[in-house]
Amino acid sequence: MDALREEVFSDKTQRSEVRKAPQNKKKFRKEWLCCWIVVALPFIGYIIFNAFPIGISIVSMFTDIEHNQISTMTWNNFAHFKAFFHDAKFLHSLGITFWLTTAQFVCLGIALLIATLLNSNLPGTKLMRTLYFIPYICSTVAVSIMWGWIFGSGKAGVLNSFFGTEIEWTQEAKYITWCVYFVILWQAPSYGIVMLTAALRGVDSTLYEAAKIDGANTWKMYTKITLPQIAPMILFLALAGWQGGLATFDAVKVLAPLTWSGTAGPENMGLTTSYYIYIQGVNFSHMDYASVMQWAMCIITFIGSYIFLRLRKRTEENL
């Protein structure tokens, strides 16, 4: 990123030198207009569809809004914040979200293992890498339906016929979170595998040769050379996993649909924060209150992301 910035700023210094020469004085050119338009478009889009919604949702946190129509906004003296700090359901959902986020890090471990194995460059590993990417392109909705069937349906269910049990895994508070956990374990490593295989391939092979001459064994080479070299990529994936994990929604929406008693799955065990935000905002039309939770999540996500980015920068400096 910094390299990009430097590149552009060095352009600037060159240009200002050119500008000093009077015969090269810049005249307005028609191309500039095209440039300005195409360059400005992303900013316009950002301001209209990102900055405005952000502004409105920030304001809405301090107001009561009826039926999600902003024309009905009235100041409510921090009522949402008072409610928010006493919302046990939010804390509960936060716990479940954190628990499901740990799945992302387990996935990172799986991805690292599989990528290392693929890096052995044995015949067939290229095909496997292609196959292992397939879960990434499958929609989480379809994947959750798939696993829902494996976990479900009494005696005829796959899991039950394996274990000789008759448990509706997705209907029991004890198991539902594990079902979602499993869906993540199945789907999330695929991205990491592809990224880490590429990162492993990018490690300078002369480093290994030098270590071999020094008599290092395979394990030592892996921990002292490979891991530090791919550490930036690992931390990038950890960052993506953190952000993705905290936003877990599709899988719980499918596997833990709202029950008649209004809980997300049995005993609310499928209630992640994004699901809770959705229920509050859409089912109860309390987008104003949902905004409070949304921004709380935003802060939590940001804190974690900042830590991962700092760590990543440090590992890059150590290279």
- Nearest Cα neighbor of 190 from 261, 146, 152, 137 is 137
- Quick note: the x/- pattern for another protein over 15-44, rule CB under 8 A, is x----------x---xxx-xxx-xxxxxxx
Residue 111 Cα distances to 54, 71, 106, 206, angstroms: 35, 49, 9, 25
Q: Would you count residue 281 as binding another protein (CB under 8 A)?
A: yes
Residues in region 218-237 near another protein by CB under 8 A: 232-233, 236
Give the residue carrying structure tokens 């930036």. 232
By the 8 A CB rule, do 266 and 175 touch?
no
Q: Would you count residue 202 as binding another protein (CB under 8 A)?
A: yes
Residues in region 236-255 near another protein by CB under 8 A: 236, 249-250, 253-254
Candidates 91, 173, 298, 303: give the one binding another protein (CB under 8 A): 298
User: Minimum distance from CB of 173 to another protein (Å)?
Assistant: 19
Q: State the Cα–Cα distance between residues 254 and 176, nearest whole angstrom.
A: 11
User: Minimum distance from CB of 146 to another protein (Å)?
Assistant: 5
Residue 278 Cα distances to 84, 144, 264, 273, 301, angstroms: 15, 19, 11, 8, 18
Give the residue carrying structure tokens 């859409």. 282
User: Minimum distance from CB of 138 to another protein (Å)?
Assistant: 5
Q: Would you count residue 181 as binding another protein (CB under 8 A)?
A: no
By the 8 A CB rule, do 199 and 316 touch?
no
By the 8 A CB rule, do 65 and 288 touch?
yes
Candidates 100, 188, 199, 239: give the one binding another protein (CB under 8 A): 199
Candidates 24, 102, 142, 262: give the one binding another protein (CB under 8 A): 142
DSSP state of 140: H
Residues in region 57-86 near another protein by CB under 8 A: 57, 60, 65, 68-71
Residues in region 252-271 near another protein by CB under 8 A: 253-254, 257
Residues in binding contact with another protein, number by CB under 8 A: 105
Residue number, 252 or 269, with CB nearest to another protein: 252
